[in-house]
Amino acid sequence: MRSKLIMAAALVMGLCTTFLFFNYMKKYDTASAVQASMVEVVAAKTAVKKNQVLDASVLQLVQVPELGLHPQAVRSIAEAEGKLAGGELAAGEVLLTHHLTGGREESLFVSRKVQDGYRGVSVGVNFVQSVSNLIEPEDLVDVVFTPADKGTGPAVSVTLLENVRVLAVGRRMVEADKETPYAEYSAVTLEVKAEDTVKLVNADELGTVSLVLRSRAVKAATP
């Protein structure tokens, strides 16, 4: 009788051990499957402020389980680089597509185009002073000032600023394409260094400001 009890106990213990073993292996296989299905996504390397320009210095690639991947997760740094943060991001937070703002937003808010240390300043121009209204946003121009008070001698024009970026023409902040209706404009908004803003405003008040269009073509570096 005693031997039968021992055998029964051994059988029960064996069944329990087998159950626990298979349960453990099932969990192990599940964990291994999750671990094997990791994917790379972009996350903030450091805390990011709203409207901060995103670049490789504040972004990193991290591994997350594919099973719980958000459908809007950004998968490459190139997709986010150069865009603006639509809101504040904590260090380690995964980037989603709605966290990024780009071309459309810049076309609505010129303030998002102005670089740090610069200011946007508008000057009045006529058809001739604007190179026959051929200047476009993102063009580079030189600013030439001609004083209104010529005195007794001929007008003396001076180059006030060089290589200035155009932010907007009239109220248009993106380049025209074949579908953009033609419209004359009487003001151009320029991006100038903070210390040059008063100089430009004074010139616009004291005389005539003419814009000289520079080439966008970039020469190849000399070997």
- pTM of whole model > 0.75? no
- Structural domain total, the chain: 2
The helix (H) or strand (E) run that includes residue 146 is: strand 140-147
On whether both 45 and 136 belong to a single domain, the answer is no
d(CA 27, CA 48): 38
Domain that holds residue 117: 113-213
On whether both 95 and 120 belong to a single domain, the answer is no
- Please report, for the domain that includes residue 46, its CATH number: 3.90.1210.10
**Over the stretch 78-106, which tens digit does the pLDDT of each residue have?**
888 888 787 888 998 998 888 887 655 55
pLDDT at 160 over 90: yes
pLDDT at 179 over 60: yes
On whether both 97 and 119 belong to a single domain, the answer is no
On whether both 120 and 204 belong to a single domain, the answer is yes
On whether both 119 and 56 belong to a single domain, the answer is no
On whether both 95 and 142 belong to a single domain, the answer is no
Residue 143 exposed, middle or buried by CB count within 10 Å (0-12, 13-18, 19+)? buried
d(CA 190, CA 205): 16
Q: How confident is the model at residue 201 (pLDDT cuts 50, 70, 90)?
A: very high
On whether both 132 and 181 belong to a single domain, the answer is yes
Q: What is the pLDDT of residue 214?
A: 94
Q: How confident is the model at residue 32 (pLDDT cuts 50, 70, 90)?
A: low
